[in-house]
Amino acid sequence: MQEKDISIAVIKRLPRYYRYLGELLENDVVRISSKELSEKMKVTASQIRQDLNNFGGFGQQGYGYNVEYLYEEIGKILGLDKQYNVIIIGAGNLGQALANYIDFERRGFFVKAIFDVNPRLEGISIRGVEIQMIEYLEEFVKSNTIHIAALTVPKLKAPAAAKELVNLGIKAIWNFAPTDLNLPPDVLVENVHLAESLMTLSYRLKEIDDAELEGTEE
């Protein structure tokens, strides 16, 4: 259980390694040195060596890293060697975008059902998955193993929807509603707060503006 001591900072960097290694694999790259990987990823080579040493170090002196092996090992660490069944609550544009995102499937995340309250969406199929009315949610979750629920409903509806999902036994919620969900501590919540991401852009734009203004004043 060597993995247990890995810092959150390293864990957060793993998906990015995974993405880069996946791109190398797609381009038929068999091996790569930490130096080359560092140039591609704009991280220092020593950081790469340190990060990957956490997992027993997959590199060999003078050879570098075996791309496929490293990709698969990091995938296992991230739990991507398993299949996750996902349902999407909210079939608006965002919910449909998630359902259409083929990349998720490649990583083991399979959209099993999409639910909405809007009868005009009923029966519309997105990549083979039909949009169902929310009344069928309970029955569906009880008769299928669902690991993750993506929540793309409006902010005001999100807390009640999340609570219902938790009552039905869902243990992981991927929340896109711009609000924090107050759920029991054993429920995993991963938030994607788009407005907050956009605000960091405006903050940085403002900083540049301020710096330029200061420049002209001098």
Site of interaction with a copy of itself (CB under 8 A): 1, 11-12, 14-16, 18-19, 23, 41-42, 77-80, 82, 84, 92-94, 96-98, 100-101, 103-104, 107-109, 147-148, 155, 171-172, 174, 178-180, 188, 190, 192-210, 214
Q: Which pair of structure tokens corresponds to residue 58?
A: 């997959």
* Smallest distance from a copy of itself to CB 192, Å: 6
Least distance CB 62 / a copy of itself (angstroms): 28
Q: Which is nearer to a copy of itself, 139 or 196 (CB)?
A: 196
Three-state SS at 90: coil
Instruction: Label the pairing between strands 31-32 and 64-66.
Output: antiparallel
Q: Where are the alpha helices (DSSP H) in the chain?
A: 8-26, 34-41, 45-53, 67-77, 93-99, 102-106, 137-143, 158-167, 194-217
Distance CA 170, CA 147 (A): 6
CB of 69 to a copy of itself, least distance (A): 19
CB of 52 to a copy of itself, least distance (A): 16
CA 34 to chain centre: 25
CB of 199 to a copy of itself, least distance (A): 4
| Minimum CB distance to a copy of itself smaller for 160 or for 205 | 205
Q: Minimum CB separation from a copy of itself for residue 140, in Å?
A: 20
Decide whether 38 or 178 has the Cβ nearer to a copy of itself.
178
For a copy of itself, give the closer residue by CB, 66 or 92. 92
Per DSSP, 43 falls in state: S
- What SS3 class is residue 100? coil
> 83 vs 167, which CB is nearer to a copy of itself?
83
Computed on alpha carbons and rounded to an integer, the radius of gyration of the chain in Å comes to: 21
127 three-state secondary structure:
coil
128 vs 195 by CB, closer to a copy of itself: 195
Contact 194, 178 (CB under 8 A): yes
